[in-house]
Amino acid sequence: MTTKKAAPKKKKGKFEPGDFTLKVKRSKAGLGLFAQSDIPKGACIIEYVGNILTKQQEDDSNSLYLFDAGGGVTIDGAPRWNTARYINHSCRPNSEIEIYKHRVYVLAKRTIKAGEELNYDYDKEYWSEYIKPKGCRCLKCQPA
């Protein structure tokens, strides 16, 4: 009988999302994305994906899920298969965005505990135009 050796585990790169269990469910801000397992500080949680738009499509779009990935690349993350679209804004976020090679990644700023909602700062321009007029509903601004 021969035994097969397991291949050594390949170390995940900084921009390779981990195998974290995430769940979309109700939050104070509508639907949110929640960690179902602990996520270590610095881990790549998920990639923000969607349709790549031309400049004309971007100009004609009414989507609230447009993400400038640099170099003239705009991602429309509106499709529901983009699970990262459910990550809400927070003025005290537990995650942050990093753009690498025109791709958008969400990384943990600190250890995120199972059951915790994922959030990042949407930036001043988006906040001023879409969040401020309705009132920010993040945990920092709307305590329990």
Q: How many domains does the chain have?
A: 1
In a domain, 12, yes or no: no
Condensed to tens digits (0 to 9), the pLDDT of residues 70-127 reads 999 999 999 999 999 999 999 999 999 999 999 999 999 999 999 999 999 998 888 8
CATH number assigned to the domain comprising residue 126: 2.170.270.10
Whole-model pTM: value is 0.86
Condensed to tens digits (0 to 9), the pLDDT of residues 10-50 reads 456 789 999 999 999 999 888 999 999 999 999 999 999 99
- Determine how many CB atoms are found less than 10 A away from the CB of residue 135: 8
- Determine how many CB atoms are found less than 10 A away from the CB of residue 41: 11
Domain that holds residue 106: 22-50+86-131
In a domain, 74, yes or no: no
Residue with tokens 């639907």: 31
Residue with tokens 């004309």: 56
Q: How far apart are CA 35 and CA 51, in angstroms?
A: 25
In a domain, 38, yes or no: yes
For 64-125, give the DSSP string: S-EEE-STT-EEE--STT-GGGGPEE-SS-SEEEEEETTEEEEEESS-B-TTPBPEE---HH
Q: Which backbone phi and psi does 15 adopt, to 5 degrees? A: -110, 40
- Residue among 85, 51, 95 at smallest CA distance from 65: 85
Q: How far apart are CA 88 and CA 134, in angstroms?
A: 14
